[in-house]
């Protein structure tokens, strides 16, 4: 059985995944940023970040500040995807 991860830890982990996506090296050979495996790796990391935090606002007892942090992370994910893949 998996252990529960506190919401604060989920936010930290999501930000680390976003940073990992930004830090992925762009392939120098072939298609560069248009390489399918590069795009898949970036989107997978961003999907993992999104999956970590998407249910936090629906939990009982979550503060308004925590909900705002989740919104910020979603905005960071969108911005990272645009920055990295365009």
pLDDT tens for 19-75 read: 999 999 888 887 777 888 999 999 999 999 999 999 888 888 888 899 999 999 999
* 1-5, 14-18, 50-54, 60-64: least confident range: 1-5
* Cα–Cα distance, 47 to 84 (Å, whole number): 14
* Cα–Cα distance, 55 to 11 (Å, whole number): 12
* Cα–Cα distance, 1 to 76 (Å, whole number): 31
Tokens of residue 44, six digits: 């997978």
Domain ranges for the chain: 7-85
């Amino acid at each position: 059985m998996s252990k529960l991860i506190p919401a604060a830890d989920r936010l930290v982990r999501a930000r680390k995944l976003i940073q990992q996506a930004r830090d992925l090296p762009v392939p120098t050979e072939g298609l560069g940023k248009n390489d399918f495996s590069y795009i898949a790796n970036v989107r997978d990391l961003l999907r993992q970040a999104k999956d970590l935090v998407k249910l936090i606002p629906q939990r009982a007892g979550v503060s308004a500040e925590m909900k705002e942090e989740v919104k910020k992370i979603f905005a960071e994910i969108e911005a990272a995807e645009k920055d990295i893949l365009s």
